[in-house]
Amino acid sequence: MVPVFMQAQAGDWGVKKVNISAFNTMKFSQSKIEVHPGQTVELTLTNESDVPRSAMEHCWVLLKLGVDPVKYGNDLVKSEKDQKLAAALEKEVLVSTRDLGPRGTDTIKFAAPNQPGSYPYMCDSPMHCEDGMRGMLIVK
Ligand SMILES: [Cu+2]
C-alpha cells in the first residue's frame, strides 16, 4: 500500500532521458538504468556497429518483472517455428525499440512501470542476450 502523499508525486518526476549505445562486443553502454515509478522515460538506442545489417542488428527490449531474459531470447529463436510460443512471448514485452542496422538510432518514449522492482532489458537478436547484451531497469 503506497501512502497517499507518495501517490501524489507519481508523474511529477520529469522526463528521464537515457542514451544507450549497442556495441558488437555484445554489450550495451549501460547495464543499469534507474527510474521512478511511472516516470516518463525517453530512451535513445544507437547501434555503434558498422557491420552490415544482414549480419548484425541490435535493439532494446524491456521485459516484464520476473521474466528471465536469457530464456526469453532462446525461446524467441524457437518461436520462429511455433506460433503459440511467439504469441506467449509477445505478452512478456513491455516496450521495445526497432531493430537497428549499422549507425541506426531509434528513440522511444514510455512510462516506467508503477510497480517498483528490477525489470530486465535485452537485445533480442539470437544469442546477443546470452552473450551479455542485457541489463536492468530499476524502478524505485
Ligand atoms: Cu544485439
List residues, by chain if needed, whose CB lies under 5 Å from ion ligand 1.
58, 123, 125, 128, 133
Number of domains in the chain: 1
CATH number of the domain residue 57 falls in:
2.60.40.420
Mean pLDDT of 13-31: 96
**Model pTM score:** 0.90
* pLDDT for 7 beyond 90: no
Residue 55 inside a domain? The answer is: yes
Measured in Å, residue 122 CA sits from the centre of ligand 1 at 8
Alpha-carbon distance 131 to 55, whole Å? Answer: 16
CB 50 within 8 A of CB 102: yes
Distance 49 CA to ligand 1 centre (A): 10
Residue 91 in any domain: the answer is: yes
| Residue 58 alpha carbon to ligand 1 centre in Å | 4
CA 87 / ligand 1 centre spacing (Å): 22
In-domain check, residue 139? no
Range of the domain at 13: 4-134
Q: How far is the CA of 101 from the centre of ligand 1 (A)?
A: 10
The answer to the question of residue 17 being in a domain is yes
Answer for the pair 23, 125: CB distance below 8 angstroms, yes or no: no
Q: With respect to residue 96, please indicate whether it lies within any of the assigned structural domains.
A: yes
C-alpha cell at 120: 530486465
pLDDT tens per residue across span 41-93: 999 999 999 888 888 999 999 999 999 999 999 999 999 999 999 999 999 99
If you measure from the C-alpha of residue 91 to the centroid of ligand 1, how many angstroms do you get, rounded to a whole number?
21
